[in-house]
Every structure is written in structure tokens, then in C-alpha cells.
Structure 1
Amino acid sequence: MADTTQAARILLLEDDTPLRERFAHIINGWPGGELVAACATLEEALAVLNRQPVDLLMTDLNLPDGHGIEAIRLLRRLYPDADAMVISVLADDETVLNAIEAGAVGYLLKDADSIELVEAIESLRAGHSPISSSIARILVRRMSAPAASQPGPELTPRETEILRGIAKGFTYTELAEWLNISRQTVPVHIKNIYRKLAANNRSEAVYEASKRGLIRL
């Protein structure tokens, strides 16, 4: 889980100048964050990621020299504990699912105002997965569709319960209280879940489990 006791180092990737400046202004006015760079191209953002650690990547998807998913994938490789949040006008099923599979744990549309944006960042840093309502409908529709069970390691009943809690956006502390278990055991169960589902984050785990028919939301 992200350390929320210090300012989050944020990398912003947005090619539209007015939007980039607006988002940068919002981040700079938020005491919980530190904007390390505001990039207009994928090349600039990849250079920043290779040069210094960040805690949060906020990225558009369609860029003049590539796709924001490339930045998300590099972030996941270099800084596994960091978070990625998409801010885009794109909301088709394939784009949303590809971004989540790459490692995005938040997905907002560009009509988000300053209050909603800060609340989304704070929610994400607290261990939740903030998404716009239209994006949530895409995920619910995909997860509710009939899916044939695919082979793979079976989850224990406890792991299945924890996975249901993850899908609801519960934090480690909330999971421990909900299941009446020690908070220290929650990361152990989650690590096992990720290993069995070949997932890197909670969004991937929920998506993969739904595809395999292990959970239904």
C-alpha cells in the first residue's frame, strides 16, 4: 500500500497544453502531492521514469508519439509499488481493459473537476481504485457476462473472500476488520492471490478472477 505520510511524487503526462496546465495547477495546489514533471510526450515521460522514482503516474492515452499504456508498463517494471491513473476521453471497452491490464488502478474521464481529481488521487493513495461511473459500467458489464471457467490454481475460501473485498475497493485495514483477521496477514493472502492469478495489482486480479469465473460481482 502507498505511504500516505509524505507528499506523493507525481508525474503528469498530457499532450493538450491547456489541460496539462490545469491539472498541474490542481496538483501544485494540493499539499499531499509534489509534481515532479508535467510532460507533453511519451518520450519525455519515459525519460523522467528512467531518471527518478515517482509514486503516481497520471497519464493520457493517445499521445503524439505513442500510447500512455507504455508509460504505465514502464512504471510497473521500475516502481512496482507506484500507482497509475488514466485521465482520458477514451472510454471504449478495449481501451479501458487494456489500461487496467497494463497496471492502471484508477481511470477518470477528462471532465473531472478539481475537487473530483484531488479526491480521486487521495482515494487511490489510500488503496482504493477510483473510476468514473461510465468506466465502472464497462467493467461491471464485462464481469457480469457469462465466462467459462479457465484452468489455474484454485483460491482458498479465505482468498476468495479477500478477493471480493479487493473488488469492493477495501483497504488492508478494512479487509482485516471485515474478515476479523490480523492486518498483518492480509498482505500475505493478497500476495498469494496475485501469484495464483498472475496479477500485478488489484484491478488485474479482479479482472482475471472474473474471466476465470472465480468471482461474480
Structure 2
Amino acid sequence: MSHKILVVDDHKVFAESIASVLRNKYEVVEVSSVEKAIQIVTTFSPDLIVTDLQLPDQDGFYLIKSVKSKGLDIKILVLSSLTNQSTIHKLIQLGINGFLNKNVSSIDLLNAIQKILQGESFFQADIYNDYIKNFKLKTDKSNEITPREIDVLKLIIEEKTTSEIAEILNISNYTVEGYRKNLLNKTGATNVVGLIKYAMKINLI
């Protein structure tokens, strides 16, 4: 059975050209808005969404967040001319599977889609390398996890309450909540599960 792909782009000619290329290998549906995309996700059940960020009703960020919030196992490839580092950073934090500039060739697009459907990530090399060299260098220092934050993180993972953490570390509940907020901001996590994933990534657990 071929994979299903949902193309979301309000430029009709561009969307049709993409869909035409993809239909040689995949089952494809194209829509022009986030509203239509969200409506069709449950009925079409795509394996992958290829979306622009600049859309008429809501932007692509809203679509990505909506899909993620539903807990759906759908991979997301962003195809956009917005390639600035802050945009790439935000998309990475949202957990997308790939990013390509809109001027990409059909061969590169097919290659990216194939890799993503196989479980890999695919970010256009020049854009991602620029992000790594510039944006992350600017933010890494301010995003370093302090030793005290590590102490709090360990206790959060142990499912200690705010009051218990405060008592163990001899600090106030208010201070504990401050550390918790800092950890969420610095790791890009939105909840305890995200913090656990971060802890596993740095071999804390």
C-alpha cells in the first residue's frame, strides 16, 4: 500500500505541481488552508504532511501544533521560503521531521520524503548548517542547564512534588517553580514527559 501525503499550500499552481510529482509514488490530497487540512486529517489519515508556513487562514505553525496536540502519528515536512534561523529554531522545537526551501528540485523533494517516511529527519543542508553555526551559538550559553537545575530535574523525574523538592533542596516552593519554568524554557519541553526525554538525551537517566 502506498503512503498517503497531504499537501497544504495556497498557491494552486505550486501545490498542483508538487502533487503531480508525488502521485507517481504516493496517494496525494492537496488543500489550500489550515482549516481544510485539519478537517481532512482524520478522514484521509496521511502518513506525511507537506506544508507551507504562510497560509491564508492560520499559519503552518498552527497546523503543526494542532497535529501534535491530537497525538497523531503524522510526519511533517515544511516546504517554505521562510528560512531565517529563528523560524528554523521554532520548527525544530515543534518537532518537525524535515525542512526544505520552496525552490528545491523535485528530486530533492522526493529524496527528503522517502527518508522521512523511513523514519529519518531531513533538513536542507545549507539552511541547517547555517542554523547550527549561527543561531545555536548565540543561544547555547544562555540555555545551559545549571547544576542546581539538574538537581531539580532529577527530583522531577523521581516524581517528587514541588513541596518535596523544596524540602530536599532547602529552598522555597516559589524557587522550585522558577527552576521548573527555566527547565521547560531551556529544553523546549512542554511537560514532564519532555523533560524526561531531555534527561535521557543527556544521559541523566
Same fold (TM over 0.5): yes
Identity across the alignment (%) = 24
In structure 1, the gaps of 5 or more residues are: 1-5, 155-193, 200-204
Among residues 33, 53, 63, which one is paired with 2:55 in the alignment?
A: 63
Among residues 111, 115, 126, which one is paired with 2:118 in the alignment?
A: 126
User: How far apart are 1:62 and its partner, in Å?
Assistant: 0.7
The reply on whether 1:143 has 2:136 as its aligned counterpart is yes
The reply on whether 1:117 has 2:112 as its aligned counterpart is no
User: How far apart are 1:198 and its partner, in Å?
Assistant: 5.7
Task: Quote the residue 1:18 is aligned against.
Answer: 13
Larger Rg: 2
User: How far apart are 1:144 and its partner, in Å?
Assistant: 3.9
Q: Following the alignment from structure 1 to structure 2, what is the Cα–Cα distance between the partners of residues 87 and 127?
A: 18
SS in structure 1 of the partner of residue 21 of structure 2 = helix
In structure 2, the gaps of 5 or more residues are: 155-191
Task: Quote the residue 1:34 is aligned against.
Answer: 27
Q: Following the alignment from structure 1 to structure 2, what is the Cα–Cα distance between the partners of residues 126 and 80?
A: 17
User: How far apart are 1:79 and its partner, in Å?
Assistant: 4.5
In the alignment of these two chains, the number of paired residues is 156
For residues 128-159 of structure 1, give each alpha carbon's deviation from its aligned partner in whole angstroms, at most 9, with x where no partner exists: 211112321243123344424223546xxxxx
Shift >4 Å, 4+ stretches: none
Query: Structure 1 residues 198, 21: closer, same or farther in 2, change over 3 A?
Result: farther
Contact residue 54 and residue 79 of structure 1 kept, 8 A: no
Q: Higher relative contact order at CA 8 Å, sep ≥6: structure 1 or structure 2?
A: 1
Normalising by structure 1, we get a TM-score of 0.64
Q: Following the alignment from structure 2 to structure 1, what is the Cα–Cα distance between the partners of residues 7 and 59?
A: 14
Q: Following the alignment from structure 1 to structure 2, what is the Cα–Cα distance between the partners of residues 196 and 43?
A: 28
